Structure 1
Amino acid sequence: MTGEQRAHTGRRRNEEARRAVLDAALRLLADADGAAVSVDAIAKEAGVGKQTLYRWWPSKGAVLLDALTDRAEQAAPVPDSGTLRADLRAVVAATFEGAQRAPVAPALRSLVREAAHDPRLAELMREFTGARRTALREVLERGQRRGELPADRDLDLMVDQVYGVFWYRFLLGHAPLGEAEAVRLADSLIAQGS
């Protein structure tokens, strides 16, 4: 149904139209190969009017941030199984796997390239990565409260280790980002805390 006009929903946010906009933004960003994606193009691809985007989001960047955040929350939710090892393995594996799926992988790579030249997009990328860091930190804090990590453990450094490995491998592609690597990384972080 890409590009088909959707029924006007007025000022009320329509979830079907919202999903269409978020999906369209990711698709277009993935296909853009570093070129800018316009609000007009997102609206046309989603089958909504341009005014819908401006009514619901303050900027094109806000649409892209919402799309990435939404996809990340779907792909890598924050589990609470009762054990740090299981939760950390799950979050890291879901992050690695979810970021490599289309259209997220090319969209993320395009955003990183664009953010290098656009301070507004760079700020949106900081917001996006900050939200993902906070989600991972919640998992570590729960483990710390349960006594699975020492109280003096530097949780921010642990988060940096996970996302440092992720971004380095994701952007350079020099080594895999699979489930086996996620499990080894999670286990090594827990072992460092013992």
Structure 2
Amino acid sequence: MTDDRRLGRPRSEATRKAILVAALEELDERGYAALTIDGIARRAGCGKQTIYRWWPSKADVVLEALLERADTTIAIPDEGSLSDDLLAFLTATFRQRGQRPTLIGLMAHALLDPVFATEFKEKFLFKRRAALRVILDRAAARGEIAADADIELLMDVVYGVLWYRLLLDHAPLDEPAGNRLATLLVRAAR
């Protein structure tokens, strides 16, 4: 029988929160490329060893910090229609475009580290897809989406546009883009 609990002292919730806040503040001030575990530890008032005991890399710390931020900044809207729900969701999502360097850094790390890639997909990418799925499933229940519509493909369109524009920076991720994407999805869903 194996024991999945970690050895050592249990996490202090206050220290964990301080580390995540420090990581976000360091990101805002320095950007992802210049972010270091040393800088996070110094700002959080803890030792580097505390961070490394709980997270294997800066990408893992940032991922957890972003997950907590996303939970509070990107809600699942219920405006009563697919069009309005998509517009609210995409506006809130695209409003986070200031996180472009961080998201690119996490994606790059995911491409190089298969273990982190799994965490990034399961905890961040799939969680965002699940939020969009709630909107699409609710619209399907209201009869706003054709019975034969490919929900997975509709979600791919949203996140394909998002990631393509984030990674290549060839076109803006702004409110007008969100409006056009919402309109496109509503048409495709019918």
**TM-score bracket for this pair, using the shorter chain length:** 0.7 to 0.9
Q: Which amino acid is the alignment partner of residue 138 of structure 1?
A: V
Matched, 1:185 2:181: yes
1:1-194 aligned within 5 A: 12-14=12-14, 17-29=15-27, 31=30, 33-34=32-33, 37-38=36-37, 40-50=38-48, 53=51, 57=54, 59-60=56-57, 61-98=59-96, 100-101=97-98, 104-127=99-122, 128-194=124-190
Q: Which residue of 1 aligns with 2:3?
A: none
Aligned residues: 178
Distance in 1, Cα, partners of 2:12 & 2:35: 29
Residue 71 of structure 2 aligns with an amino acid whose one-letter code is E
Q: Which amino acid aligns with 2:133?
A: R
Change (3 A) 1:27 1:140: same
Name the CA shift for 1:116/1:11 in 2 (closer, same or farther; >3 Å): closer
CA distance in 2, matches of 1:84, 1:121: 34
CA positional deviation for 1:153? 1.2
TM-score by length of 1: 0.79
Residues 183 and 96 of structure 1, relative CA distance in 2, 3 Å threshold: same
Q: Which SS does the other structure have where 2:87 is aligned?
A: helix
Offset of residue 88 of structure 1: 0.9
Q: Distance in 2 between matches of 1:139 and 1:121?
A: 28
Q: Provide structure 2 residue ranges, at least 5 long, that are not aligned to the other structure.
A: 1-9
Distance 2:46 2:143 in 1: 51
**Equivalent in the alignment of 1:6:** none
Distance 1:154 1:134, change over 3 A: same
Q: Is the 8 A contact 1:34 1:111 kept in 2?
A: no
| C-alpha spacing 1:11/1:191, structure 2 compared with 1 (3 Å) | closer
- Runs of 5+ in structure 1 lacking a partner? 1-9
Q: Is the 8 A contact 1:97 1:178 kept in 2?
A: yes
Whether the aligned pair in 2 keeps the contact of 1:22 and 1:64 (CA below 8 Å) is yes
- Contact kept in structure 1, 2:104 and 2:167, CA below 8 Å: yes
Aligned-partner SS, 1:175? coil
Paired with 2:140 and 2:149, the residues of 1 have a C-alpha distance of 8
Instruction: Give the RMSD, CA atoms, in angstroms.
Output: 2.4
Moved more, 27-36 or 143-152: 27-36
